[in-house]
Amino acid sequence: MWKGLLSLTLPSCARGAAVLACVMAFPEASLAESFLGKLFGGREAATATAAEKSLADGGRKSPASADPALPVIPVASPIRQKVTEYIELTGNASPTNIVNLIARVEGYLTKIHFQDGQIVKKGDLLFTIQQDQYRSQLIQAEAQVRAQEAALAYARIEVERYTGLRRKGAAAQVIVDNWNFQAKKSEAELASAKAQVEIARLNLDYTQVRAPFDGQMGKHQIDPGNTVGGMGQPTVLAEIIQLDPIYVVANLSEQEVQRVRKALGDRRVTLAEIHDYPVDVGLEAGQDYPLHGHIQYVAPAIDPKTGTMLVRGILQNADHRLLPGFFVRIRLPAGKVIPNALLVPNRSVQTDQGGRYVVVANKDDLLEKRYVDMGDLQGEMRVILSGLTPDDRVVVADLWRATPGLKITPRLAGDGEDARP
């Protein structure tokens, strides 16, 4: 009977909202449920079940079920940690030593013992200048020493002989005085001859030009066969540069100098304290500071021409990663420590005409732009000096969708989640 009634009633009932009223008129609830299931494919039943579950949960909304039409945007609260303030500068790498190798004696350049650009060690032989004449001069000077030693020995014997004869009255005092003079003179001439030996030996050593330190050679300036070392015109044979360790040089503005002095209590630090200050260095194209050294020199005054103070750091450069003239990024400690600094992912910081800002979700889940004052970069995290509170929810990913004024469904971001600006 119900089947017949259903077949007769269904055409007239299946019109808009009248369907539900018609079905609820049936006395058997199971037949009504069956009718709804066949008519709508169970969607009303699923909706009713979701509504009942929501009521059972006390009316709480999950991010996925709050409003499917709202975009789900990853957010995160700022991290709090202790950081040290730094001053970031742009500077240059500079060699610790750069020397022009000069021919110190005159002669023909006979041989070059290196290739242009070669890495050499301290004491390596680089050039040889004609040695024959300087070797002969050394032999001559050594012979003169032996002659003066013989003259001195003879004079001392004569002094002793005539002194004895003078005691016996067999020799005049004038003869004794003469031989004492000859002995003293021979002593002086012997000292002079020994000095000539040292000069001749130095000249012979100067015919071999050696590396004064570990470094890299430049190109040679003189070819073998040319005369070098002319009087009054020193001849530059080549240039050698020391690359390890290496300097990094930058200039502090007067405002930065005042900032550092204020952090140090307006006192000047000693030279020993300066050498304890670290300096971090990175290449111009990078973001991190992989090289580390310490401050080696700070100018005693501000240059009135530039209004800056020169600061020089020194660091090891065994792999020659830095070359003289490279532009580098230098990070120096400003002397101030922030115990509870707020940090956000550097990728979440954006820029417009108003300055640097981040996008945050307010208590109503509306996105708003928040201008901030930035501090130093700590790895991939950026220190925020002002503009944020620890409870703010900062958009850290999907920045291309995070338009200020947009209502969103915030989702707590996971570690390492990339932004897609």
Residue 142 placed within a domain? yes
Quick one: pLDDT at residue 213? 94
In a shared domain, residues 182 and 263: no
Instruction: Determine the angle formed by the axes of helices 43-56 and 29-40, rounding to 10 degrees.
Output: 110
Among residues 185, 206, 227, which one ends one of the domains?
206
Burial category of 240 from C-beta neighbours within 10 Å (exposed 0-12, middle 13-18, buried 19 and up) = buried
Non-local (6+) Cβ contacts of 348 within 8 A are 358, 359, 394, 395, 396, 399, 419
Reported in sequence order, the residue ranges of 8-71 that DSSP labels E, i.e. its strands, are none
d(CA 94, CA 241): 10
Most confident of the ranges 59-63, 232-236, 326-330: 326-330
Residue 113 placed within a domain? no
In a shared domain, residues 284 and 354: no
- The sign of the torsion formed by the CA atoms of 165, 167, 172, 177 equals positive
Kindly report whether the peptide bond that precedes residue 404 is cis, defined as omega within 30 degrees of 0.
no
CATH number of the domain within which 155 lies: 1.10.287
In a shared domain, residues 249 and 326: yes
pLDDT confidence tier of residue 263, bands split at 50, 70 and 90: low
Residue 303 placed within a domain? yes
Quick one: pLDDT at residue 216? 94
Quick one: pLDDT at residue 239? 95
Residue 273 placed within a domain? yes
Residue 278's SS3 state is: strand
Mean pLDDT of the region 208-233: 89
Nearest to 372 by CA among 363, 382, 385: 385
In a shared domain, residues 251 and 322: yes
Which residues form the domain of 375?
72-77+349-412
Contact predicate 73/399, CB 8 Å: no
In a shared domain, residues 29 and 50: yes
Flag whether pLDDT at 221 surpasses 90: yes
56: left (phi over 0), alpha (psi -120 to 50) or beta: alpha
Flag whether pLDDT at 132 surpasses 80: yes
Report DSSP letters for 87-113, one per residue: EEEEEEEEEEEEEEEEE-S-EEEEEE-
Mean pLDDT of the region 276-301: 84
pLDDT, greater one: 13 or 233: 233
Quick one: pLDDT at residue 413? 80
pLDDT confidence tier of residue 339, bands split at 50, 70 and 90: confident
Quick one: pLDDT at residue 332? 83
Residue 50 placed within a domain? yes
Among residues 308, 337, 366, which one ends one of the domains?
337
Mean pLDDT computed over every residue of the chain? 80
In a shared domain, residues 253 and 324: yes
Flag whether pLDDT at 41 surpasses 80: no
Q: Percent of the chain scored above 90 by pLDDT?
A: 45
Flag whether pLDDT at 96 surpasses 50: yes
Flag whether pLDDT at 55 surpasses 70: no
Non-local (6+) Cβ contacts of 133 within 8 A are 107
In a shared domain, residues 320 and 360: no
CATH number of the domain within which 386 lies: 2.40.420.20
Contact predicate 397/352, CB 8 Å: no
Quick one: pLDDT at residue 181? 95
Quick one: pLDDT at residue 14? 41
- For residue 208, what is the enclosing H or E element? strand 208-210
For the ranges 92-101, 122-131, 237-246, 334-343, the lowest mean pLDDT is seen at: 334-343
Flag whether pLDDT at 187 surpasses 70: yes
Residue 111 placed within a domain? no
pLDDT, greater one: 281 or 82: 281
For the ranges 328-332, 403-407, 410-414, the lowest mean pLDDT is seen at: 410-414
Flag whether pLDDT at 19 surpasses 70: no
Non-local (6+) Cβ contacts of 246 within 8 A are 93, 94, 95, 96, 314, 315, 317, 322, 324
pLDDT confidence tier of residue 290, bands split at 50, 70 and 90: confident
Residue 101 placed within a domain? no
For the ranges 18-22, 70-74, 278-282, the lowest mean pLDDT is seen at: 18-22
Contact predicate 279/333, CB 8 Å: no
CB atoms within 10 A of CB 166: 16
- For residue 355, what is the enclosing H or E element? strand 355-361
How many structural domains does the chain have?
A: 4
Residue 106 placed within a domain? no
pLDDT, greater one: 324 or 46: 324
Quick one: pLDDT at residue 264? 62
For the ranges 15-29, 156-170, 263-277, 308-322, the lowest mean pLDDT is seen at: 15-29
In a shared domain, residues 248 and 318: yes
CATH number of the domain within which 264 lies: 2.40.30.170
pLDDT confidence tier of residue 157, bands split at 50, 70 and 90: very high
pLDDT confidence tier of residue 284, bands split at 50, 70 and 90: confident
Flag whether pLDDT at 51 surpasses 90: no
Mean pLDDT of the region 30-36: 41
In a shared domain, residues 329 and 250: yes
pLDDT confidence tier of residue 242, bands split at 50, 70 and 90: very high
Q: Radius of gyration (Cα) for the chain, nearest Å?
A: 46
For the ranges 110-124, 132-146, 234-248, 284-298, the lowest mean pLDDT is seen at: 284-298
In a shared domain, residues 304 and 257: yes
Mean pLDDT of the region 349-357: 91
